[in-house]
Structure 1
Amino acid sequence: MQTLLQLLRDGDEGWALLHAEITDAPRFERRGVMLDVTRHFFDVAEVKKFIDSTSALKFNHLHLHLSDDQGWRIQIDSWPKLTELASSTASLGDPGGFYTKDDYREIVAYAAERHMLVIPEIDLPGHTHAIGVAYPELVEDPVMNDSLIAESARLGQPLPVAGEPYLGWGVGHSSVRIHEERTYEFVRDVVRELAEMTPGPFIHIGGDESLGTPQADFDHFVERATAIVFEEGKIPLAWHEVGAAKDIAEGTIGQYWGKTTPEGSHAAEAAHFVERGGALIMSTADVAYLDMKYSADFPLGLTWAAIIDVRTAYEWEPTAALDVPEAAILGIEAPLWSETTRSLSDVERLVFPRAAAHAEVAWSPQRASGRDWESFRARLGGLAPLWKAEGVDFHPAAEIPWSER
Structure 2
Amino acid sequence: MVLTESLPLIPLPNSAVPGEGALRLTDATRVHGEPSSARMLVDAMTRRTGMRLEIAPDASGPASGDIVLRVDPAAGAAEGYRLVIADDAEIVGADSAGLAHGVHTLLQLLREDDDGWALRHAVVSDAPRFAYRGVMLDVARRFFPVDEVRTVIDRAAALKFNHLHLHLSDDQGWRIHIDSWPLLSQRSSTASATGDGSLAGGGCYSRADYSEIVAYAASRHITVVPEIDMPGHTHAIGVAYPELVEAPVMNEHLLDDAARLGHALPEAGVPYTGWGVGHSSLRIREERTYDFVRDVLTELAELTPGPYLHIGGDESLGTSAEDFAYFVGRATEIVSSLGKTPVAWHEAGAAPGLASGTVGQFWGALTPEAAHAAQAARFVERGGRLILSPSDAAYLDMKYDEHFPIGQDWAGVIDVQRAYDWEPVTLLDVPASAIAGVEAPLWTETVRSLADAEQLMHPRLAAVAEVAWSAPGPQRSWASFRERLGAQAPAWRADGIRFHPTPEIPWSDR
State if a TM-score over 0.5 links the two structures: yes
Q: Report the Cα distance in structure 1 between the residues aligned to 2:316 and 2:366, rounded to whole angstroms.
A: 22
From 171, 175, 197, the equivalent of 1:69 is 171
Q: What RMSD over aligned residues (CA atoms) do the two structures have, in Å?
A: 0.8
From 119, 126, 130, the equivalent of 1:28 is 130
Flag structure 2 segments of 5+ consecutive residues without an equivalent: 1-102
From 245, 250, 267, the equivalent of 1:139 is 245
Shift of residue 320, structure 1, vs aligned partner: 1.7
Q: Report the Cα distance in structure 1 between the residues aligned to 2:131 and 2:429, rounded to whole angstroms.
A: 20
Q: Which structure is higher in strand share?
A: 2
Shift of residue 368, structure 1, vs aligned partner: 4.3
What letter corresponds to residue 178 of structure 2 in structure 1?
I
Q: Cα deviations across residues 330-388 of structure 1 (Å, max 9, x unaligned)? A: 1100000000001110000000000000001111111142x111111111011111111
Q: Report the Cα distance in structure 1 between the residues aligned to 2:232 and 2:482, rounded to whole angstroms.
A: 40
From 289, 292, 301, the equivalent of 2:407 is 301
Q: Report the Cα distance in structure 2 between the residues aligned to 1:3 and 1:85, rounded to whole angstroms.
A: 45
From 126, 150, 154, the equivalent of 2:256 is 150
TM-score, reference length from structure 2: 0.78
Q: Cα deviations across residues 172-196 of structure 1 (Å, max 9, x unaligned)? A: 0000000000000000000000000
Q: Which residue of 2 aligns with 1:380?
A: 485
SS at match of 1:249: coil
Shift of residue 264, structure 1, vs aligned partner: 4.0
Q: Report the Cα distance in structure 1 between the residues aligned to 2:370 and 2:188, rounded to whole angstroms.
A: 34
Flag structure 1 segments of 5+ consecutive residues without an equivalent: none
Q: Report the Cα distance in structure 1 between the residues aligned to 2:448 and 2:250, rounded to whole angstroms.
A: 26
From 216, 219, 240, the equivalent of 1:110 is 216
Q: Which residue of 2 aligns with 1:101?
A: 207
What letter corresponds to residue 225 of structure 2 in structure 1?
I
Q: Report the Cα distance in structure 2 between the residues aligned to 1:322 and 1:228, rounded to whole angstroms.
A: 28
Q: Check conservation: 1:290, 1:337, Cα contact below 8 A.
A: yes
Q: Report the Cα distance in structure 2 between the residues aligned to 1:13 and 1:313, rounded to whole angstroms.
A: 38
SS at match of 1:123: strand
Shift of residue 12, structure 1, vs aligned partner: 3.5
Q: Report the Cα distance in structure 2 between the residues aligned to 1:237 and 1:85, rounded to whole angstroms.
A: 27
Q: Which residue of 2 aligns with 1:183?
A: 289
Q: Report the Cα distance in structure 1 between the residues aligned to 2:218 and 2:303, rounded to whole angstroms.
A: 13
From 468, 472, 495, the equivalent of 1:390 is 495
Say which one has the larger Rg.
2
SS at match of 1:277: coil
Q: Which residue of 1 aligns with 2:506?
A: 401
Structure number with the bigger relative contact order (C-alpha 8 A, sep ≥ 6) is 1
Q: Cα deviations across residues 267-303 of structure 1 (Å, max 9, x unaligned)? A: 0000000000000000011100000000001001000
SS at match of 1:18: strand
Q: Report the Cα distance in structure 1 between the residues aligned to 2:334 and 2:314, rounded to whole angstroms.
A: 18
Q: Report the Cα distance in structure 1 between the residues aligned to 2:504 and 2:297, rounded to whole angstroms.
A: 44
Q: Which residue of 2 aligns with 1:43?
A: 145
Q: Number of aligned residue pairs: give it.
A: 404
Distance 1:47 1:146, change over 3 A: same
Q: Report the Cα distance in structure 1 between the residues aligned to 2:249 and 2:160, rounded to whole angstroms.
A: 42
Does residue 345 of structure 1 match 2:447? no
TM-score, reference length from structure 1: 0.99
From 235, 252, 258, the equivalent of 2:364 is 258
Q: Report the Cα distance in structure 1 between the residues aligned to 2:463 and 2:285, rounded to whole angstroms.
A: 44
What letter corresponds to residue 40 of structure 1 in structure 2?
R
Q: Report the Cα distance in structure 2 between the residues aligned to 1:63 and 1:300, rounded to whole angstroms.
A: 22
Shift of residue 228, structure 1, vs aligned partner: 0.1
Q: Cα deviations across residues 37-93 of structure 1 (Å, max 9, x unaligned)? A: 011111001100111111100011000000000010000000000000000111112
SS at match of 2:126: coil
SS at match of 1:238: strand
Q: Report the Cα distance in structure 1 between the residues aligned to 2:395 and 2:156, rounded to whole angstroms.
A: 15
Q: Which residue of 2 aligns with 1:8?
A: 110
Q: Cα deviations across residues 244-270 of structure 1 (Å, max 9, x unaligned)? A: 011210000000000011114000000
Once the two structures are overlaid, the 10-residue window that deviates more, 317-326 or 126-135, is: 317-326
Q: Report the Cα distance in structure 2 between the residues aligned to 1:270 and 1:286, rounded to whole angstroms.
A: 17
Q: How does 1:233-272 map to 2 (within 5 A)?
A: 233-272=339-378
Q: How does 1:307-346 map to 2 (within 5 A)?
A: 307-346=413-452
Q: Report the Cα distance in structure 1 between the residues aligned to 2:482 and 2:220, rounded to whole angstroms.
A: 26
